[in-house]
Structure 1
Amino acid sequence: MSDPQLQVSGGAGGTNARYEDIGLLAQHSDDLAGDLAAITAQGHGMLVDPDLLASAVLNPDGFAKIEAGLLQALDGPDGLTALSLDFGQRAIALRTVVASYQAVDEAQARTIDTLRWSLGFGLGLGLQGAVANPLAALPFASTLGAAGALFGDDLDWQQLLTDHPGIIDTLVGMGPGLVSSLPGAPLVGDVPGAANLLADWYQDGTFTATAPDINGTGTNIDTSDTMVRPPQGFADLIAGLNYRNGEADAGQPDQIDVRVITHPDGSTAYVVDIPGTKVMNMPWDPASPFLNDMGTNVHVLGGDTTSRQHAIAEALKMAGASPTDPVMLVGHSQGGMVAAQAAHDSGTSGFPYNVTHVVTAGSPIANTDIPTGVQVLAMENAHDIVPHLDAGDNPDRPNHTTVTFDDQNGNIGKNHATDLAYLPAARALDQSTDPSVVAYRDSAGAFLTGGGDGTTVESKVYELHRVH
């Protein structure tokens, strides 16, 4: 894919940003209505001013003309009183429009969530009935048989799911209802709640962060060209993430890097590259020593502050970051999920650093509440099923920009890969003139340089371990 088509939602040019603009216009209308009302009150006071009334004796005709003119200016059809009322009504109308649109959006989302939950609950009850009474399984068997006849024996499930990733949204969205239908199970209302139940099977443990020897140099400094080049745009950010993703092998310690960016004026900023899941362990497997495993996935999907997040904070401390230095977190898959949760916890004991920017590639982060002071840019391949594992759409907010692109390889892994899917899209994103993308890029000046300005980068590598 050399030139992917990008679709942008949210951010400075998104719907909610426009809603906020309408809200600001409503506030200005209210303020203007109040100012006009105050002027009108002063004008009515002038009508009964003692000096003006006294002048009526000397010049009755002039007095009458002044009174008539003032009354027309104040209370006539186009007078200040009418203008004040008009602006007040306009403010009410503007707020009503915004509230109506937002209420419709929220109602639609709730309806979809409720429908999925009900399907899951009904499926769970049906499966239990089938176990208790095999004859009850006949409708299910008939449905499966019909599906087999429809799709045939040569169905390519990867092609089906990547062509229609909304199937994943539906299946994941059914999960809370399915869990709630089980005997003795608690009532689970949403995906994070279901993830929290599953997380009980995975022990998150505690963590350590160490500085490994890179290529026998005796230091943890990575001097490869990709990692020492000052990032000028999204392609450079994702190239660094892709490089670290390739270095963090399955079965090896979790590996991240901290790119320390030093500007000519001596100020510093930090970019943390966080690869995705490398260990696909099941709940019944022995306890994993690796933080980049399925356990972290379900914990962070449930909204937990994980040991991996704490280990990343420790790595920033080891790299020399202060609590006030600007930090950008760049993550792929699980890495983006952890980055979003760290942004949620920014400035707290959960992540005591100043996260100002987040970039994610193929990460399900729709359910993570990001503070308004953090700018998020989420990249999602329309044929990547992983961003659908939270069964939700990213919020349309002024600080949350989502860039969707189309890259179908017919393969789940390739559609999710940083090198095959997300790096080409990042190159295209650097050419985007969309107002939300431009606003994000402009806000990230501490991390993205114009090139040739004397900015330097030192990339420090850290290995993260789980301790049980």
Structure 2
Amino acid sequence: MTDPELTVTGGAGGVDARYDDLGMLATHSSDVAAFLLSASKESHGALADADVLASALLNPAGVARFEAALLAALDGPRGLTALAAGFGTQAAALRTAVAAYRVTDEAQAEALESLRWTIGNILGSQPLTIVPLLAALGLPIAAYQLAGGEIDWERLITDHPGIVDTIVGVAPGLVNGLGIPTEDVAAAARLLGAFYPDGTGEVVDRGLDIDPRTAQPPQGFGDLMRTLDYRNGQSQANQPDQIDVRLVQHADGSSGYIVDIPGTKAWGPPGEFSPFLNDLGTNVHVMGGETTARQAAIGEALRRAGAGPDDPVMLIGHSQGGMVAAQAAHDTGNGNFDFNVTHVVTAGSPIGMTDVPDNVQVLSLENSHDIVPHLDAADNRDRANHTTVTFDSQTGSIGNNHGTNTVYTPAADALDRSDDPSVAAYRNSAGAFFGSPGSTVQTKVYELTRVP
């Protein structure tokens, strides 16, 4: 099978990392400028040194030459003072450039979000404007169908998943135009979340899993995704949520915990209490940036598996599972998830709005024909700690384009063969979770349910 073509953004080789490098260069330049200024100030004292001035009585010409040479070395066009000023100017210029680049990047994202919101607000407050818009959109489609063409709607939306970004991005403004104050996608999700009681998570131990896919420490991204796919298959629709916690132990005594978190399995309507934590309601709450009962239950499972507050933890999730993983990583910084999450891996998850702390490394796999990563209408930010790997796998099916076995496992296998610097840096930082000579793994399974 031919490897899908991978496009890598962010991470150690990304734009934000280069901004960080420029910022570090600015800091070093400032340090050099301060050192040179200090040396210049101290050296200026030699011009008025008592011994030097006293020696002028014996050799006035020699002292004059010495003072002239020292002044030139200190205050001449190529002297220490000029060098210090040059490094200081360079530091200021670098900091200004980095700030300008970052402001521009943020402004572009905010401008697109604002444009979508405005369009939605107009449609909500002036509903008649939707008539010419629908006509403009519908005429080409109607003409194509009148000519005998048949439209494959599933293929259309998976070929152009940006349609989803637009629809989701317009929705908050539309709601606001209808008279319900709504600023953005997260705020709209929080409004909808009021109709989905989150309840409290309960955890039941289901013992050890000795399946071959869980019995060996992972050797790479492909192995990580295969185990996630296996757990995804064990978590059945409209059955209690199921996750696993894997303890990888190394011969040198070090260890790491891996949590596999499947995606959505229950799709109940709003207004009904659901006992399933992996349901649509959890999606809505996480999209709103909220800490969920599912996240709390995962924390309890980690505690039961023996994880302490300092043990390194990797959270791996597909779809909703990746959303919950990213939110849990975010919450490590505010006390809502008391574990040392160092790494996150997501597959087909919309996490562009989730702000993960700088000390957590995130790797996101996204099929460019998978519509699910577009459900937050936000691209993943190019950050030094967030590597996004995009690939093209068009099966023609919304479900298969989102599948862990159909597209994400082959992409993860291809990632193991990648020499991209961001991918290599992520893997090198995650040694606690990958197999090494003499390492072992133990996998515990936990069932999660929601109670009122």
Q: What TM-score results when the alignment is normalised by the length of structure 2?
A: 0.96
Q: CA, structure 1 residues 396+236, in 2 after alignment: closer, same or farther (shift >3 Å)?
A: same
**For the residues of structure 2 that align with 1:109 and 1:63, how far apart are their CA atoms?**
64
- Any residues of structure 2 matched to 1:19-418 within 5 Å, and which? 19-127=19-127, 130=128, 139=132, 142-143=135-136, 145-152=138-145, 154-183=150-179, 185-186=180-181, 188-212=182-206, 220-284=207-271, 286-346=272-332, 349-418=335-404
Deviations along 1:135-182, one digit per CA (max 9) or x if unpaired, are x77535633541432443622121111111111111111111011011
Amino acid across the alignment from 1:459: T
Answer yes or no: is the 8 Å Cα contact 2:262–2:321 preserved in 1.
yes
- Residue 425 of structure 1, CA deviation: 0.4
- Residue 454 of structure 1, CA deviation: 1.6
- Residue 268 of structure 1, CA deviation: 2.8
Report the counterpart of residue 216 of structure 1 in structure 2.
Answer: none
Q: Secondary structure at the match of 1:287?
A: coil
Which ranges of structure 2 fall in alignment gaps of 5 or more residues?
none
Answer yes or no: is the 8 Å Cα contact 1:55–1:63 preserved in 2.
yes
Report the counterpart of residue 445 of structure 1 in structure 2.
Answer: 431
Amino acid across the alignment from 2:115: L
Q: CA, structure 1 residues 151+45, in 2 after alignment: closer, same or farther (shift >3 Å)?
A: farther
- Residue 257 of structure 1, CA deviation: 0.7
Deviations along 1:287-319, one digit per CA (max 9) or x if unpaired, are 211011100000000011100001111111121
Amino acid across the alignment from 2:99: A
Answer yes or no: is the 8 Å Cα contact 2:333–2:357 preserved in 1.
no
Q: Secondary structure at the match of 1:256?
A: strand
**For the residues of structure 1 that align with 2:236 and 2:152, how far apart are their CA atoms?**
29
**For the residues of structure 2 that align with 1:227 and 1:382, how far apart are their CA atoms?**
29
Amino acid across the alignment from 1:175: A
- Residue 267 of structure 1, CA deviation: 3.3
Answer yes or no: is the 8 Å Cα contact 1:375–1:399 preserved in 2.
yes
**For the residues of structure 1 that align with 2:341 and 2:178, how far apart are their CA atoms?**
41
Deviations along 1:15-64, one digit per CA (max 9) or x if unpaired, are 11111111111111111111111111122211111211111111122112
Q: What TM-score results when the alignment is normalised by the length of structure 1?
A: 0.93
Deviations along 1:47-84, one digit per CA (max 9) or x if unpaired, are 11121111111112211211111111111111111111
Q: CA, structure 1 residues 204+102, in 2 after alignment: closer, same or farther (shift >3 Å)?
A: same
Q: CA, structure 1 residues 137+122, in 2 after alignment: closer, same or farther (shift >3 Å)?
A: closer
Q: Secondary structure at the match of 2:56?
A: helix
- Residue 104 of structure 1, CA deviation: 1.1
**For the residues of structure 1 that align with 2:130 and 2:400, how far apart are their CA atoms?**
37
Q: Secondary structure at the match of 1:54?
A: helix
Deviations along 1:251-270, one digit per CA (max 9) or x if unpaired, are 21111111121222343321
Answer yes or no: is the 8 Å Cα contact 2:40–2:80 preserved in 1.
yes
Question: Mean Cα displacement is larger for which, 334-343 or 99-108?
Answer: 99-108
Amino acid across the alignment from 1:199: G
Report the counterpart of residue 217 of structure 1 in structure 2.
Answer: none
Answer yes or no: is the 8 Å Cα contact 2:228–2:316 preserved in 1.
yes
Which ranges of structure 1 fall in alignment gaps of 5 or more residues?
131-135, 213-219
**For the residues of structure 2 that align with 1:462 and 1:151, how far apart are their CA atoms?**
52
**For the residues of structure 1 that align with 2:337 and 2:351, how far apart are their CA atoms?**
17
**For the residues of structure 2 that align with 1:151 and 1:206, how far apart are their CA atoms?**
51
**For the residues of structure 1 that align with 2:383 and 2:372, how far apart are their CA atoms?**
22
